[in-house]
Structure 1
Amino acid sequence: MKKITLITCLCSLLLMACSREEWNTTASTDTPEAVFKLYDVGYSGTLSRASTLEEARYDRLEYCIVDENGNRVRDTKSKYNPSTSEIYVEGLHEGNYRLLVLGVKGNESLDRATIHELNHIDETWLEFPEDLQKPLDAEYFYSQTPFTVTVQQGTGGKQEVATIRQDVKQQRIISKVDFEFAYNNPYVRTAVTAKRATLGSVHFYTVLSGDGAMAGESDGTLQDLLLDSVTSYCFMPLKEGSVLNGEISIQTRNYRGSEVSQVYAFGQKEMESNHIHQIETKVNHPDDKSVVMFLTSSAYAEGKHTKILQDDETKEVYTNPSLRKFNTAQPLQLNITDDGELHMRFYSPRDLKNVLVKVHIPAVSDEYFDLAYFDTIPGFADFYEALPLVQRSSMCRTESGRQIEVHQMQASELAGAEFKVESTDPYWEKLTKIEHGWDIYWGLYGGDPEREDGGPVGNWMGIRPVHCRESVALFLNFTYMIDMPEHEQILTENADQLYDDNKNPIQVERVLQQMRQKRTLQVGLVYPGNGIIGLGGGSTFGAYQQAWFEHYWNAYACSIMFHELGHVMGYGHSSSFTYGPWAEKLMNNFYVQNLSKFPIDSSTYLNSKNNPNRYK
């Protein structure tokens, strides 16, 4: 037998392709003469390039062994094991060899690539069409590993075979180009609507031979590169003497509906294999110094802002009126924190679109000026973000159209801020029509929402966020309804059905005054096990779960709500406002029949009936 010693070294050449003799089905790979373990080397130019080495995994692998004359060796047996990234070889004779390996990650057919069979190392192995005219979809890896086979005499005059393992480090033959952008204002970056690179005449190599040499030439045409969601592209190296150059165009929008187009020239002379090359565009934009926080959808998402009254909110938070309380006439709460952040909290089941926030800050101007614009404010949003005013000097646009420059300010200088909100969203128009707001907060009344049965105490059980959200919907609708002309009309037309507990008539004006007066309610969840499905009076209001979920369409559920509102208004069970026509005929039916006109015009915003956190 022979004893084989492999002496190997890695050459950082380029890609190759070659077919091989497959291991026959009866051959064993337990003791092959040579095992080559494939690893991928990371791109050069990365921070971790010294330690970037990972086991190779390819969608396609081609390899072959050539002798010292570069001719393909055909009298060997070999096999590639993709699960271990190893090539096993048997049948090698004494001599000098090279192992050529070509790996592909991705689908080379998308690049119209052709991998040829090698008979000699100088032949073409990998080839791209001259008119490809696009970046590469797949990544291509290559290595050329020389090794020597020598025969050694064993003890007793016998020759022995020993398996030798060798690591093979694969490098990409392609080059990657990263298009990077430096912005002076983060709100300009998130307001970009389109980015693209238009290339001049650029020529890439199109051929790789077995010895790693590059040849061939693309036709010089390259389609525009869209840089919106993808900013990295792969290419074959530049042909000697060619330059990757062109123009980068950037389109942005601003909060006032205008669009800005800008063009920047660029040029890249070097594009080496297995390297990342960066083309940075420093964007100078007219809105660089704008004070406005332009919260596009992407900008808002980047802030990872939270929401209030969500199912995972603790009872200690959502039942604390210092943390969770709102007036239905002001569901959008705005303030500037002591740290100089704009804080926006929105008590609403619905999203609000196209929102301009203006502010009057005495230390800045005697006028209101534009401060923030939201493409969308999500329902129950809880937004915090540092104001540009405390980060840098800024340009402000006042209501009269003046542009004023404001120096960087301290948070303490923002005291006394007053806000004004504008929106083209029809939903906002409805919210602004709520003139007589009620203050709403939530209480457990002894119940425990963490228990499966709600921890009932007397007629109460633990209210959960799913019920709190529904109460926001109900009271926004109710306080909107009380100022509707149609509502006043139905009361006027049925004035004879309005009476107190002594059956004395109640004037329509008196009823409206009682419904419109300022009130504060602590809202809870009623436990129906005692036969009670609603409780109300003074500052207390509660209903059982089904009524909270069905007030949109169920006239009976509505009658429960208005029954308890009748108690809140000071009436007892002998009046028309509880078991009488006001609660059970006029108001409940008006609510259901006019739901489409209300701010919260559908149960689908909350879909509470299907919420897994409701009581079963």
Structure 2
Amino acid sequence: MITNIKRWLFASLLITGFLIFTSCNDDDQSTAYNASYLPSIDATNLPIGNRSMTMFEDDESPSKMYDKQDRWFRVNEPMQVIQKGKDSVQISLYSPVGLTDVRIYAKLANYDKKFLIYNFTKIPAFHRSFHQIPMVAGKNDYLLETGNAVTIDKITGFSSGAIEFSVESSDPLFAKFKKIKSSHLVQFNDGYHINELGKYLPMNPVLAKEAIAMIINYSYALSHPIYYDTFINFNRYKQEQATQAGTVVNGATDWHGNNEDVDGKYDYLPKTEIEKIYWNYLDNRTVYMAMVGGDSAWGGGPLASQWESGYVTGHWVGEMSVWSHEYSHHIGFSHSSNLANSGEGGGQQEMLTHFYKYLIYLKDLPFTDPEVLKGWTKTKYLTGTYKKPVFNINPKNPFLLKYKGDGKWN
């Protein structure tokens, strides 16, 4: 049965509009259809009607970043396309570095091929703008993913679910975004500092930009094949550390759960559970990023937090121990588990920090240059005083010793 929406699309596309195809590789150019595609777009120079803006400007009201209906993104989709009404889309780039050659494709409910509706030559960092869906404006030719052309008549508008969007780009940064396996939804939540000011402190756009860079990098690190292999085989990692040190394994020999340790006896997790836990770190739950002002950072439920210094300088030099700890509380682990605590002989806090530093050393993170944000220079928006973060790796880093500069995720 064809629903009302499908019947309308079917009629619009196939009866009154007709779809015309032509191959870009057609040898007989005398009969080839001469498609006329929509022009490319430079998002750094848009007409006023597109309502172009830069999100998280330093002096932007923090109320905007705390608006959870308006400011949110999934870590594997920093380049976001959202339908607005029946005739427009909002594009947003949650990234401190812009993108080039961004192609946005559409797919209609009754047509199984994707076709190009926007080709952006440039999209600057933290950009947002609004664009009319071109099919609403009139009849146009569109480039299919296959390289063929399709002509689509004017369509008066799109109900929810009648059109889907996807993004592609040749930009190397976008290629890193696509490797991220986590689909965590990231938001900032002012409820913590409103209800417990002092224990938590308000953030601002300067800190939010640093936090966004950090969580994209962190999600990339968790998704990395070397991290997956090390996480799944943590017992091997512990043995390798002991061998390098010329000692026996110190403390727990593998991942263990939340039960209290008694006389060196741990509730070790089976491999099947370890695999499941790894993917829990990369699921689609919501994380609220916050900042603490007291003696302790906090995590649990949707919350993961750290101090201002961690956002401004710490993550650029790989000091991710606190964040790893609080994020593990967010996933569901207590201080009794070495998935949250370092524990005897080291746990995930230590391992993740070593690995993160190795990725900075390899320049194998989406963002490795603190100059892209210069957060430490923006003293007007900070409570502490900071110097430019300068990264150095310990020559005894276990990942450096094992991989010796290899292992970059190509």
Give the TM-score normalised by the residue count of structure 2. 0.70
Secondary structure at the aligned position of 1:473 is classed as helix
Give, in whole Å, the separation in 1 of the partners of 2:146 and 2:52. 32
- Residue 391 of structure 1 corresponds to 137
1:522 alignment partner, one of 288, 294, 298: 288
In the other structure, the counterpart of 2:69 is 322
Match of 1:104 in 2: none
What's the CA shift string for 1:281-338, capped at 9, x where partnerless? xxxxx88x53x35113664477561122222332332112111111112222113322
Whole-Å Cα distance in 1 between the matches of residues 224 and 307 of structure 2? Answer: 27
Partner residue of 2:174 out of 404, 423, 428? 428
Q: Give per-residue Cα distances to partners, 1:229-258, cap 9 Å, x unaligned.
A: xxxxxxxxxxxxxxxxxxxxxxxxxxx9xx
Tell me if structure 2 keeps the 8 A contact 1:456–1:462: no
Unpaired stretches in structure 1, ≥5 consecutive residues: 1-255, 257-285, 449-454
Q: SS of the counterpart of 2:105?
A: strand
Q: 1:607 to 1:343 in 2, by over 3 A?
A: same
Q: Tell me, in whole angstroms, the C-alpha distance in 2 between the residues paired with 1:401 and 1:566.
A: 45
Q: How does 1:210-359 map to 2 (within 5 A)?
A: 290=37, 292-296=38-42, 299-300=45-46, 305-338=52-85, 340-359=87-106
Q: Which runs of 5+ in 2 are unaligned?
A: 1-23, 25-33, 239-252, 261-265, 385-410
Q: 1:510 to 1:404 in 2, by over 3 A?
A: closer
Q: Is residue 182–residue 219 contact of structure 2 (8 Å, CA) maintained in 1? A: yes
Whether contact under 8 Å (1:567, 1:578) holds in the other structure is no
How far apart, in 2, do the equivalents of 1:567 and 1:424 lie? 37
Which residue, out of 358, 362, 366, partners 1:599? 366
The AA in structure 2 aligned to 1:310 is E
Name which of structure 1's ranges 541-550 and 337-346 shifts more when overlaid on structure 2. 337-346
Are 1:382 and 2:139 matched, yes or no?
no
Q: Is the 8 A contact 2:222 2:228 kept in 1?
A: yes
The answer on 1:500 being equivalent to 2:247 is: no
Q: Which amino acid letter does the alignment assign opposite residue 461 of structure 1?
A: L
CA offsets 1:160-207 (integer angstroms, 9 cap, x no match): xxxxxxxxxxxxxxxxxxxxxxxxxxxxxxxxxxxxxxxxxxxxxxxx
Structure 2 residue corresponding to 1:361, chosen from 85, 105, 108: 108
Name the counterpart of 2:199: 459
Q: AA paired with 1:313?
A: E
Instruction: State the 1:480 CA deviation.
Output: 1.6
Structure 2: distance between partners of 1:536 and 1:428: 30
Counterpart secondary structure, 1:348: coil
- The higher relative CO (CA closer than 8 Å, separation ≥ 6) is in 2
Residue 437 (1) aligns with residue 183 (2): yes
Q: Secondary structure at the match of 1:494?
A: helix
Match of residue 538 from structure 1: 301
- CA distance in 2 between counterparts of 1:523 and 1:298 reads 29
Deviation at 1:497, TM superposition (A): 4.8
Q: 1:568 aligns with which of 304, 310, 330?
A: 330
Q: How far does the alpha carbon of each residue in 1:395-415 deviate from its partner, in whole angstroms, 9 at most, with x for none?
A: 222234443333333234796
Query: For 2:192 and 2:326, how far apart are their aligned partners in 1?
Result: 20
Structure that is richer in strand per residue: 1
Q: Hey, what's the Cα distance between the residues in 2 that align with 1:578 and 1:542?
A: 15
Note the alpha carbon deviations across 1:461-498, whole angstroms, 9 max, x for none. Answer: 11112222222222212222222121123332325253
1:610 maps onto 2:366 in alignment: no
Root-mean-square deviation (CA, aligned residues, Å) is: 2.7
Aligned to 2:312: 549
Q: 1:519 to 1:392 in 2, by over 3 A?
A: closer
Q: Which amino acid aligns with 1:550?
A: T
Report the CA distance between 1:564 and its aligned residue: 0.8
Q: In 1, Cα distance between the equivalents of 2:145 and 2:133?
A: 19
Give the TM-score of the pair, scaled to structure 1: 0.48
Q: State whether residues 94 and 125 of structure 2, in contact with CA within 8 Å, keep that contact through their aligned partners in structure 1.
A: yes
SS of the aligned residue for 2:327 comes to helix
Contact 2:324 2:352 in 1 (8 A): yes
Matched, 1:411 2:157: yes
Given that 1:447 and 1:463 are in contact with CA atoms closer than 8 Å, whether structure 2 keeps it comes out as no
Structure with higher Rg: it is 1
**Distance of aligned partners of 1:335 and 1:494 in 2 relative to their CA distance in 1, 3 Å threshold:** same
Is 1:553–1:592's contact at 8 Å kept on the other side of the alignment? no
Q: Distance in 2 between matches of 1:573 and 1:397?
A: 54
Could you tell me which residue of structure 2 aligns to residue 146 of structure 1? Answer: none
Give the structure 1 partner of residue 211 of structure 2.
471
In structure 1, C-alpha distance between the alignment counterparts of 2:317 and 2:53, rounded to whole Å: 32
Displacement, 1:428?
Answer: 1.1
> Relative to total residues, which structure has the larger helix share, 1 or 2?
2
Q: 1:401 to 1:460 in 2, by over 3 A?
A: same
Q: Which residue of 1 aligns with 2:228?
A: 488
Distance 1:397 1:414, change over 3 A: farther
Q: Is the 8 A contact 1:514 1:569 kept in 2?
A: yes
Percent of aligned positions that are identical: 19
